[in-house]
Amino acid sequence: MGDVEENDYVNVPKYGLKNNLDHVYPEFRKGNYKPCFRIIWEMLPFFIRYLWYYIKAQFTGKSIVMDGLYPLTSKQCYGVPMGGIGSGTIGRGFRGEFLRFQLKPGLYEHNTVDANQFIITIKDDKDQTIFHSLLSTNKKKGLRDWTSTLDGSRCKYTGLYPRSWTEYDLSEYGVTLKCRQVSPVIPHNYKDSSMPCAVFVWDIVNVSESQRTVTIALTFKNGTGTKKQDGESISSSNAFSFGESSGVILHHTVNKMPCTYALAAKNRTGTKLTRCLYFDPNSNGSKPWLQLKNQGEFEERCDGQRYGEMAVGIACKTALKSKGSAQLQMALAWDMPTVTFPKGGKKYRRFYSEFFKKENASLYIVEYAFENFRDWEKQIYEWQAPVLNNESLPDWYKSALFNETYFISDGGSVWVSPSSEEIKEYKDNDPRKTVGKFLYLEGHEYRMFNSYDVHFYASHALSKNWPQLQNALQYDLRDAVFMDIPDKVYMLYDAETVPRKVPDTVPHDNGDPGEEPWLLPNAYPIHDVATWKDLNSKFVLQTYRDAKVSGKGELDKNFVTDMYDACYKVMIELQKSDKDNDGLVENAGKPDQTFDVWVMSGPSAYCGGLWLAACYVMTIFAKLLNKECDRLRFQNILDKGKESFEKILWNGEYYNFDTSKKESTAIMADQLCFQWYLRCCGIQDYPIISKENIKKSLKTIFQNNVLKFSNGDLGAVNGWINGNIDPTAVQSLESWTGVTYALAGHLIFEGMYNEGFKTAGGMYKSMRDKFGLSFDTPEALYEKGYYRSIGYMRPLSIWSMQMAIEEKEKMGEKILVCK
């Protein structure tokens, strides 16, 4: 069969997002949920303050980190995005479109660009064009002469991150076509995972009885589809032949930052490559379109001029004998090595740029991609195969685990090298010296980097697959603990004016991509996060997990030593909220934790459990470092706190939400978050509460929050009270995708396999098959009609399910699931 590959590494997998190119999802949901009148009335002062904040920001140009007035609506179209980690991403739709650009660091532009296309031309043995079409079924607005005559029902898409396959049945024209899109997202391979590129492998088969000549063209315009910004760019193009590839480079700017696109094809005997160095993306597109249709190639002309908006293209033309085949390899790279943030001006070098010369780096990236993509695929296959080939696991899970991982690259991630001054300051064992500094967003709509209350859940994806990035992030958070920024900021929830950053507290986030991250933490504008009751505990618990991973199962003493001072100080600061000295921290009658509109009062299961787990970890740290006084201090707190926790919160079936009269008996889906995290840390005993109570609580949560909520098809609703969904707050009404995956992981840790996979499986299948939310996973789902905050970080907690599965298999237990 000529050049066409057939092996396990490259074949279309059984699992993943699978749609025909004409697929329409059965249910459309919206992101603009409106709460009931009672909640609106209770929160009216906050809404008024938010509206004023919003209007003021519009006039002053201040960044809005959470846009509550114009939430994003999912386009129900997303497929596997292109690009590695931290170097910008360009999205793809399963119908073939190019959309959702994140080249400006941490900032998304939700544009679908009509000029960015793959185009096919098929000629018969008489050199007559018998088929000419866009290889996309997406409806477009511009370039009116460009048309798609694909039969979407005969074209199939499979997306299994970080690769996708599109199969085109054009057999009525004598050809079948398959495109494999490969992005370098590879666990433990830091260099290659940082690459800003994607490779497209086109396998073409002539199934007719006569010759066919096939042309595949790739066109691309400057910028990201934002009209004003793209028009302000000074753009130019050049043809190139470099190493074993040829193509076009397109020089332009994105928000005044220099960027180069490289469209390339691997040189191949029997394939003719032609280039289009300019066409107007705002025209009808007839010139390049007719060139391809009539000749099957572009008319190459020297250009050399500079433009505003412009587009370019490459075309690969090959002749196939009857029953013959050919493979074309194409690549798209984007070189944007230096980035800045709007309010600072400090320049950062993206991590990938360390590996290439500054001049013509895009050409070296393309050449590197062509040389290495087969090895990337081998590594990706070897990463995924143990899961995909595990017959004990349900099919949906094999799709979910990898496709939810999309957020590592397509979560606004920014990966930069440290400055020379920073390198001098870092200790020899500081991971930032070798892997740089890493940021990613809380969500596409919630524009705060490394939101730590949420990262607590999501961090397992990094820890399991790129642990050095997780360690680098943790060192940045450690440094931020000691920061003192007295600048006053206005809090929208209660109208308080507070210091931006209080020392000896864990920041909510590392900053806003619209300001200056790292230097200006706590972009979150709703509450005074210095008073939150979960952040400090979560820092200690993550330190323990990271130390275990760094020590390959044993605590890394150097890591603990580097973190201990920060851990100790944040714990002493948090202890101040234990007003009655009973060993439990107390919530302040406001939403002072990650459920930031759901009020907790007094000791709560969520914050109290996290606090006790952190105290337990502190006793281990202190013992390791021979700090006996510290060990005794935290052991004393732990002993008192455990007794109080049982006495105050245990009701015989589960742990009460808090100690308020209004909410105390609510069943909180995340009440055992602390024990889930200890299990994720490899702690298999029960140092805080008994195994019996954990089992009882999990059964209660499953029977109520899961099974009684939308028949178990939408995950675990956050709150359940008196036989119904808890109506107290917006967030008590919601099912959080990341909490659901975490709960599922905990159920698996406890051997409740059917319950665990039912909890997560119903939710995932609803999002993938009904709502069209693949590669766009929201923070929250409502029982009917709505979601909140699409493209969110917390669902990366699905990796805790995999950790639980691997622990059970290591112990010799067989995962038995009713399928």
Segment 599-637, tens digit of pLDDT: 999 999 999 999 999 999 999 999 999 999 999 999 999
What value does the mean pLDDT take over residues 396-400? Answer: 98
For each of the domains in the chain, give its residue range(s) and CATH number, in order of start.
17-27+74-375 (2.70.98), 701-819 (no CATH)
CB-based contact 802:682 (threshold 8 Å): no
φ/ψ bin of 184: left (φ > 0), alpha (ψ from -120 to 50), beta (otherwise):
beta
Contacts 24+ apart (CB under 8 A), 545-553: 545/459, 545/463, 545/677, 545/680, 545/681, 546/463, 546/467, 546/470, 546/471, 546/474, 548/681, 548/682, 549/463, 549/467, 549/470, 550/467, 550/471, 553/682
CB-based contact 206:322 (threshold 8 Å): yes
The rounded percent of the chain whose pLDDT value lies above 90 is 95
> 337 preceded by cis ω (within 30°)?
no
pLDDT for the residue 1: 39
What value does the mean pLDDT take over residues 519-541? Answer: 98
Residue 302 pLDDT greater than 80, yes or no:
no
What value does the mean pLDDT take over residues 386-408? Answer: 98
pLDDT for the residue 819: 60
Rounded to 10 degrees, what is the CA torsion of 377, 381, 383, 385?
180
Alpha-carbon gap, residue 545 to 460, rounded angstroms: 9
DSSP string, 374-434: HHHHHHHHHHHHHHHT-TTS-HHHHHHHHHGGGHHHHTT-EEEPPPHHHHHHS-TT-THHH
Alpha-carbon gap, residue 314 to 669, rounded angstroms: 53
Residue 502 pLDDT greater than 70, yes or no:
yes
CB-based contact 138:77 (threshold 8 Å): yes
Alpha-carbon gap, residue 697 to 726, rounded angstroms: 17
- The residues, any chain, with a CB within 8 Å of residue 495's CB and separated by 6 or more, are 45, 49
- The tokens of 299 are what? 């008319």
For 266-298, write each residue's pLDDT tens digit: 999 999 999 999 999 999 999 999 999 999 999
**662 — pLDDT class (breaks 50, 70, 90):** confident
pLDDT for the residue 708: 98
Sign of the torsion formed by the C-alpha atoms of 499, 504, 509 and 513: positive
pTM: 0.97
For residue 500, give the nearest of 16, 512, 179, 371 by alpha carbon.
Answer: 512
For 742-754, write each residue's pLDDT tens digit: 999 999 999 999 9
DSSP 808: H
Question: For 199-212, b where at least 16 C-beta lie within 10 A, e where not — what string?
Answer: bbbbbbbbbbeebb
- The tokens of 356 are what? 């290439």
For 433-470, write each residue's pLDDT tens digit: 999 999 999 999 999 999 999 999 999 999 999 999 99
pLDDT for the residue 303: 64
Give 389's strand partners.
none
For residue 466, give the nearest of 666, 715, 188 by alpha carbon.
Answer: 188
Residue 513 pLDDT greater than 70, yes or no:
yes
Mean pLDDT of the chain: 97
